[in-house]
Structure 1
Amino acid sequence: MKFDIVVIGGGLVGASLLAALKDSGLKLALIESRVPAPLPADDSWDGRVYAISPGSIVFLQACGVWQRMDARRITAVHEMRVYGDDYAANINFSAYESGVPELACIIENRQLQHAVWETLAEADNVQLFCPAKYDALTWHDSHVELSLSDGTVLQTALLVGADGVNSRVREQAGISINHHSYHQTGVVANFEVERFHHGIASQWFRRDGILALLPLPEKRVSMVWSANTPFADELLAMPGEALCERVTQAAEQKLGTVRLITPQLGFPLNFVQAQSLVKSRLALIGDAAHGIHPLAGQGVNLGLRDARELATILLQADGWGDCGELSLLRRYERNRKEDILAMQWVTDGLHKLFGSEDAAIMRIRNLGLGITNRFPFLKNRLMRHALS
């Protein structure tokens, strides 16, 4: 079976790339090992949420995905308040000051995954291999050959690795990575709160980690607590009442008392930087290409910008030649390099800055928050990347 593009990895980034190409003349395929779970029949909430930037929303709208979302489960973020660890320093970001309707929209992982897979299921030029795994990849001058576990053999002009931070595609392509563990775990859970959040997302840089509370519909919030691993293990093992008390105290009771509505989950936090995003007949996108600390809530948006850029280049080249040509793929790599490096530098740098226990650095970092908050030009420069 021959295809123009085969994507390995059916997460949001990989699937959205194919959604962006669904109206092209390209023959597309997706290989995913797990069947996406159907949406639950009840009104329960997913513990994993995304903060989708305005630029990513425009991209998902162009793909025909965003329109499928249940608007009742989407919450606009109108303001972001960030607090230092001295209980005085802070910086506030406002959609009004930035000249946009919202800074981001908070949406559940499973809602967005469901919408993008529905879009692909209706596309005439997309073939889904799911559940399916590949056993081998063989590179040729004119194509890549994939042997699936059931014996099916595929040929593609371009292979896209979208198979996550531990990408097997990246490894088999011989692309090395820079990697280090943050020795932290992202602990996530959802809560009902006593006081309405008014569309405000809050974040606290604390000595025990970085706590973020993101607004959900009505009087609900989603927590992401990036905590040093020993403390994260404590949070994950806590009974619901104890966790609620800890979160209420850590959030300075700004939303009053909280009640747990989804059990806490944890995932390890790592820095990953692929040495190259491309080789002949291969492009990496999403977590297969880069992994950043979630303190800025930009990991998924960084991946969606990969998909958006690669789709733009492929659509421009459609009908002109081979979509797996290295010269074409290097254009994608060049266009993405600055954005990826900037976001990695900012998130990694902030993590190191607020992770330091040096007294002088502690004073400087909190002073820096206060100074930045008094200069709208600086704040708008910081927001420019986050909104794209």
Structure 2
Amino acid sequence: MVEHVDIFIVGGGMVGTAIAARLGHSGLNIAVLEQQAPPAFDPASPPDLRVSAISPASRALLERIGAWQHIEAMRSAPYQRMQVWETERSAGTLFDAGEVDAANLGHIIENRIVQLACTQALQQHANIQLICPDSIQRLDIQAGGSRIELASGRSFVARLVIGADGAKSQVRDAASIGLNSHEYPMHAFVATVGIQGGERDITWQRFTPNGPQSLLPLPGDYASLVWYHQPQQVQQLLQLDDTALIAAFSREFPDALPTLTHVVSRGSFALIRRHAQDYVRAGVVLAGDAAHTIHPLAGQGVNLGFQDAEALCQVLEQAVQQGEDIASLAVLQRYQRQRMLPNHGMQRLMDAFCYGFSNDSGPLRFVRNLGLKLANHSGPVKKEVIRYALGLSTPDQLLPTPLALLKPRLKRA
């Protein structure tokens, strides 16, 4: 028996489940496919290795779909301040949510918790079915209705297929959508660590010639440590025992960070920027990592995915209200026009930070220090950076601000 649905979402991760829950009141018949259910939440367990910095803009979406209440019932770590510096000798720049009258800059939350919360939210809607665990056996993308055959033997015909299935998207491949990619000359080493002094309300980030170093607060006596380095150095870090690893952290990271007590878990991953050449075809659309991946140094990956989700759902809801075909290329291109340029701009902005700061050139070091000093002493610059962190500003708005403030100083000099 073939089952007919309006929308078939491939990928029940954070973005896929958010899209489904966001469309819960649309009247559309929706199926969500996920290969493996996330483990249930255990409050006694230490935080997971994979976490995201959820911006206030993303929190607003999660509240709107009914997922935030489930996150609050589990755990998250809000942070009010962000310390950025290049060397320990410099004071660096402190960004504080209070400077724009905001409660916080965001929350550090385990990916699994966000996924669990969004899954609970979508299960409140009778028009959404979650298929998990299962996987695609065959996917034929057709403008008039795509055919999906699952490993379990179930078959579907969908008016619209949404690919929210990650960087190695099956949907993107099945739709023959090309991909531009670039591998960065550094890998990310990540670790969940215990800290002294309890939960903090601040994130730290320092730029070095080898790449950024970050420490993010987690609930309780834990933090997430991220160390970007050359691939061979990351492999060496993975081989160290816990004592030697903490010694390496203490030696290489700034003294201002909390004292590390133990290592809970560790891992690494390559850094690859990807951007789909198109987000849409007739009958198919990409969102989140299936459409784009970004350097994670500013924690914008999943936030861009949630912005995709909101924009796509608005386009689809408007099409339903106006009696249009939700799978038509004309409708789906409205979403692409909204999201492709901002996503590409954010990728380029992260490249500028990555390569501009991971360089020991004297002139570049001077410009970096000058930029941090300007940001620290200029209210408009700091406020624009904070608005960006809150998800209220776009790359094109952020980049001109320090340049505009710098020009008068250069003229006077």
Contact 1:208–1:231 (CA<8 Å) still a contact in 2? no
Match of 2:268 among 253, 266, 269: 266
| Cα distance change of structure 1 residues 89 and 290 upon mapping to structure 2, 3 Å threshold | farther
Which secondary structure does the structure 1 equivalent of 2:273 belong to?
Answer: strand
CA distance in 2, matches of 1:179, 1:109: 24
Contact 2:11–2:32 (CA<8 Å) still a contact in 1? yes
Which residue of the partner structure matches residue 185 of structure 1? Answer: 187
Contact 1:8–1:162 (CA<8 Å) still a contact in 2? yes
Which structure 1 segments of 5+ residues have no match?
none
The alpha-carbon deviation at position 89 of structure 1 amounts to 6.0
Q: Are 2:132 and 1:130 equivalent residues in the alignment?
A: yes
The alpha-carbon deviation at position 250 of structure 1 amounts to 3.1
Equivalent residue letter for 2:357: F
Q: Are 2:359 and 1:356 equivalent residues in the alignment?
A: yes
Which residue of the partner structure matches residue 383 of structure 1? Answer: 386
The alpha-carbon deviation at position 41 of structure 1 amounts to 6.4
Deviation string for 1:309-353 (max 9, x for gaps)? 111221222242221111111111111133212211111111111
Which residue of the partner structure matches residue 341 of structure 1? Answer: 344
Which secondary structure does the structure 2 equivalent of 1:164 belong to?
Answer: coil
Equivalent residue letter for 2:276: A
Which residue of the partner structure matches residue 221 of structure 1? Answer: 223
CA distance in 2, matches of 1:33, 1:256: 38
Q: Are 2:171 and 1:169 equivalent residues in the alignment?
A: yes
Equivalent residue letter for 2:150: L
Which secondary structure does the structure 1 equivalent of 2:156 belong to?
Answer: strand
Which residue of the partner structure matches residue 327 of structure 2? Answer: 324
Which residue of the partner structure matches residue 212 of structure 2? Answer: 210
Which residue of the partner structure matches residue 399 of structure 2? Answer: none
Which residue of the partner structure matches residue 37 of structure 1? Answer: 39
CA distance in 1, matches of 2:51, 2:154: 35
The alpha-carbon deviation at position 183 of structure 1 amounts to 3.0
CA distance in 2, matches of 1:85, 1:167: 40
| Cα distance change of structure 1 residues 42 and 198 upon mapping to structure 2, 3 Å threshold | closer
Out of 21-30 and 128-137, give the one that drifted further.
Answer: 128-137
The alpha-carbon deviation at position 226 of structure 1 amounts to 2.2
CA distance in 2, matches of 1:256, 1:64: 35
Which structure 2 segments of 5+ residues have no match?
392-413
Over the matched positions of the two proteins, sequence identity in percent amounts to 35
Q: TM-score normalised to the size of structure 1?
A: 0.94
Q: TM-score normalised to the size of structure 2?
A: 0.89
The alpha-carbon deviation at position 65 of structure 1 amounts to 0.4
Query: How does 1:80-95 map onto structure 2 within 5 Å?
Result: 80-85=82-87, 87-88=89-90, 90-95=92-97
Which residue of the partner structure matches residue 232 of structure 2? Answer: 230
Contact 1:213–1:222 (CA<8 Å) still a contact in 2? yes
Query: How does 1:20-31 map onto structure 2 within 5 Å?
Result: 20-31=22-33
The alpha-carbon deviation at position 32 of structure 1 amounts to 1.5
Match of 2:54 among 36, 52, 56: 52
Out of 30-39 and 324-333, give the one that drifted further.
Answer: 30-39
RMSD (Å), alpha carbons: 1.9
Match of 1:372 among 362, 370, 375: 375
Contact 1:15–1:120 (CA<8 Å) still a contact in 2? yes
Which secondary structure does the structure 1 equivalent of 2:207 belong to?
Answer: strand
Deviation string for 1:20-47 (max 9, x for gaps)? 1122200001112222222236332212
Deviation string for 1:165-212 (max 9, x for gaps)? 111211221111110111322222222222456401100112332111
CA distance in 1, matches of 2:269, 2:318: 38
Contact 1:28–1:127 (CA<8 Å) still a contact in 2? yes
